[in-house]
Amino acid sequence: MTDVANRTPEARRDPLTLRLAVRDIGGITRRNLLRIIRTPQLLFMSVVQPTIILLLFRYVLGGAIRVPGLDYVDYVVPGIFLEAVLIGGMTTALALAQDLQAGIVDRFRSLPMTRPAYLAGRTLADICRSVLALACIIGLGLLVGFRFHNSAWACLAGVALIIAFGYAFTWVYAAIGLAVKDPQTAQMTSILPMFILFFASSALVPVSTMPGWLQPFAQNQPATVTIDAVRALFEGGPVFHDLWQAALWCAGIFAVFLAISLNLYRKATA
């Protein structure tokens, strides 16, 4: 501040390189990971919630549910894995709304950084948290009797698909957070898609047991096709049909909500 000579008053018109973009994303991701580590209670909650659902359906309700061709534990646990990453994304909406309200978004938007890096850094940090929660829930699943019955590669592909689905959905939550702007509203609003997608899917019971009017939606919505593909990858069985549908859903959701989020961020005001 004293050494005027050392200033850089020339505006930087140099093009934004990929290297700078990666560096910006790294900086923002690190910031968000530090925030996640420093709020362990939130991290804890993102594990507790799927744990409760898992234990509830494994031990309390599971006894009453029969599914053809599979032990119920092998049926339901892959669904809970997906729920673990889906619920983790809710914190994306909350965190963005908090940043907006605190004026942090204004500060970042006034910097010469690569603008999309702010959102990329947010979603990457959140998917890291989800992966951690997922690891815990996989451990717990194995503990309560869930088993992988397919090849290691197929099982890894299944886990990768869950993470891809989770990442695509963090962009849905990002759009929600940027659109509603208020942290509490963001939290309430993002519960809704989570509930609809998780409960009206094949995660807990086969779609064929649902009422006729619900079946077309439940059978074709992204959570169902992803869970069916993951289940087939873990337990064996025909996978191709569900897998390409799931991949298409993930890619589509990612592309659409990435565009919506970037547009909302560009015009963001608290």
Partner 1 sequence: MNAAVEVEGVTKRFGGTLALDDVSFSVPQGDILALLGPNGAGKTTLIRVLTTLLAADSGRAQVAGLDVRKDARAVRSVIGLAGQYATVDELLTGRENLELIGLLYHLDKAIYRDRAQDALERMSLTGAGDNRVKTYSGGMRRRLDLAASLIGRPPVLFLDEPTTGLDPRTRNDLWQFITDLVADGTTVLLTTQYMEEAEHLAQAIVVLDAGRIAAQGTADELKDQLGGNLLEVQVTRRADLEKAASLIAGLASAPPQLDAGLNRVTLPVKGGARVLIAAGRALDDAGVQLEDLGIRRPSLDDVFLALTGHPAVPGDDGAAPFSPGSGQ
Least separation in angstroms between CB 128 and partner 1: 16
Compare residues 1 and 143 and give the one whose CB is closer to partner 1: 1
Binding mask 13-52 for partner 1 (x = CB under 8 A): x--x---x--xx--xx-xx--xx--xx-------------
Compare residues 45 and 163 and give the one whose CB is closer to partner 1: 45
CA–CA distance, 41 with 207 (Å, rounded to integer): 35
Helix axes 40-55, 116-143, angle to 10 degrees: 40
Among 7, 41, 139, 143, binds partner 1 (CB under 8 A): 7
Least separation in angstroms between CB 259 and partner 1: 20
Of residues 95, 55, 89, the one with CA closest to residue 194: 89
What b-and-e string marks burial along 106-144, b requiring 16 or more CB atoms within 10 Å of the CB?
A: eebeeeebbbbbbbbbbbbbbbebbbbbbebbbebbeee
Please tell me whether residue 263 binds partner 1 under the rule CB under 8 A: no
Least separation in angstroms between CB 25 and partner 1: 11
Least separation in angstroms between CB 169 and partner 1: 24
Subset of 91-150 contacting partner 1 (CB under 8 A)? 101-104, 106-113
**Binding window for partner 1 (CB under 8 A); candidates: 8-16, 43-51, 58-66, 153-161:** 8-16
Compare residues 10 and 64 and give the one whose CB is closer to partner 1: 10
CA–CA distance, 80 with 203 (Å, rounded to integer): 7
Beta-carbon count within 10 A of 30 CB:
13
CA–CA distance, 141 with 62 (Å, rounded to integer): 14
Compare residues 177 and 222 and give the one whose CB is closer to partner 1: 177
Q: How many residues lie near partner 1 (CB under 8 A)?
A: 36
SS3 label, residue 47: helix
Please tell me whether residue 4 binds partner 1 under the rule CB under 8 A: yes
Compare residues 2 and 240 and give the one whose CB is closer to partner 1: 2
Least separation in angstroms between CB 194 and partner 1: 25
Tokens of 183: 């942290």
Compare residues 28 and 53 and give the one whose CB is closer to partner 1: 28
CA 96 vs CA 91, 182, 191: distances in Å: 8, 9, 15
CA–CA distance, 204 with 64 (Å, rounded to integer): 12
DSSP H helices, the chain, are 18-37, 40-55, 72-88, 90-102, 104-109, 116-143, 152-180, 183-199, 215-220, 222-235, 240-266
Least separation in angstroms between CB 19 and partner 1: 10
Least separation in angstroms between CB 111 and partner 1: 5
Name the residues that contact partner 1, by CB under 8 A: 1-2, 4, 6-9, 11-13, 16, 20, 23-24, 27-28, 30-31, 34-35, 38-39, 101-104, 106-113, 269-270
